[in-house]
Structure 1
């Protein structure tokens, strides 16, 4: 049963992502399916999707399309684990399977967003995403943020659907006003 529910979601996500031409329309079409998946089938993930690492949050690859235009990950966040400040270079839809995930956004004040230096970022708002919540983002301007779980909270598990193979992203040094493209690691299922 769990595997068939996950396959249903992947099939629908693939179909909808190819039908919608703009990132905004794509995430608008996909967000309700993410909510349905995480709300109606709490046991859809396999044990290997819950792998964690004491040193940093874990990215467990669930699905990668043949042409790398879609990827799905289960991220496991132990207490005190955070991403660095980063962007995605893609649209994305995120659903919270377990726990509360915290997102702290940054606002880019720089006019030229193509440069890797002279980037002026200021802190934005905070979003608390409890189990069952769904959020989304689109590129251009990209969604710059940090995400994680404060040390005093319990583990969180989130499901991330991206409009590309999420094998790299930009990391930002807020104080230096720079960014660099870095490769990402993941656990393959």
Structure 2
């Protein structure tokens, strides 16, 4: 299968970050990948409709591409009106690019044991804008659709196969954390500890067309 050209360009850039000669550090990866992501989300004419479908209750996270060596993954997040995540971390570097609509991000830090978490910033990401996260920069946040009356779509890049990485959700009142694995809305839930925000994990009926493409990409005819 052939990759959609716009996505192929991003994948080529990301592959270049991990070449044996001239490997990039985290900041270089964020900078180079960020510019490539910004180019991708500058035009909203390439994402297939099946990866832009919302759910009435849960935001959706569709795997677009996962590197065969699991060095990075690209995911389409589709937010129904007002939908939000719990406070969570990532454990790897990440980039968010706004393709459609707008996304609200609240960053948090754990103040101290058994104390309320502290919100250190609130930002809104609009179409064409990007944001970077990493454990070294701070990667604990809560994300939501900035609109209460229409869907939003963001494209995320992660420095690993984010659907298989053990991460944490946090209780804002206490800072207590619980482990979870997010998986994907278009890949069946196998871990038993999925984020309770994916229709595939809850219904057990993910889109069968894409089950075999966990480590491949969306394509065009």
In which range does the TM-score fall when normalised by the shorter chain?
Answer: 0.7 to 0.9
For the pair 1:67 / 2:63, whether they are aligned, the reply is: no
For the pair 1:169 / 2:167, whether they are aligned, the reply is: yes
Q: 1:119 to 1:22 in 2, by over 3 A?
A: farther
- Normalized per residue, which structure has more strand? 1
Task: Give 1:44's match in structure 2, choosing from 39, 43, 46.
Answer: 46
Give how far 1:35 is off: 0.8
Query: Distance in 1 between the 2:115 and 2:105 partners?
Result: 21
- How many residues align structurally? 182
Match of 2:199 in 1: none
For the pair 1:26 / 2:29, whether they are aligned, the reply is: yes
Structure 2 unaligned regions, length at least 5: 187-209, 211-221
Higher alpha-carbon deviation: 3-12 or 76-85: 3-12
Q: 1:26 to 1:84 in 2, by over 3 A?
A: same
Q: List aligned pairs for 1:1-189, cutoff 5 A.
A: 3-18=4-19, 19-39=22-42, 41-110=43-112, 118=114, 121-140=117-136, 142-150=138-146, 152-167=148-163, 168-188=166-186, 189=210
Q: Segments of 4+ in structure 1 off by > 3 A?
A: 17-21, 117-120
Query: Distance in 1 between the 2:54 and 2:148 partners?
Result: 18
Give how far 1:17 is off: 4.7
Match of 1:113 in 2: none
Give how far 1:58 is off: 0.2
Relative to the length of structure 1, the TM-score reads: 0.87
Structure 1 unaligned regions, length at least 5: 111-116
Q: 1:5 to 1:150 in 2, by over 3 A?
A: closer
Q: 1:164 to 1:78 in 2, by over 3 A?
A: same
Conserved? CA contact 1:88–1:142, under 8 Å: no
Higher alpha-carbon deviation: 172-181 or 77-86: 172-181
TM-align CA RMSD: 2.1
| SS of structure 1 residue aligned to 2:4 | helix
| SS of structure 1 residue aligned to 2:84 | coil
Give how far 1:142 is off: 3.6
Query: Distance in 2 between the 1:2 and 1:46 partners?
Result: 12
State the Cα deviation string for residues 23-72 of structure 1 (Å, max 9, x = none): 22210111111111111x32121122112211110000001111211110
Higher alpha-carbon deviation: 96-105 or 175-184: 175-184
Conserved? CA contact 1:100–1:131, under 8 Å: yes
Query: Distance in 1 between the 2:136 and 2:175 partners?
Result: 19
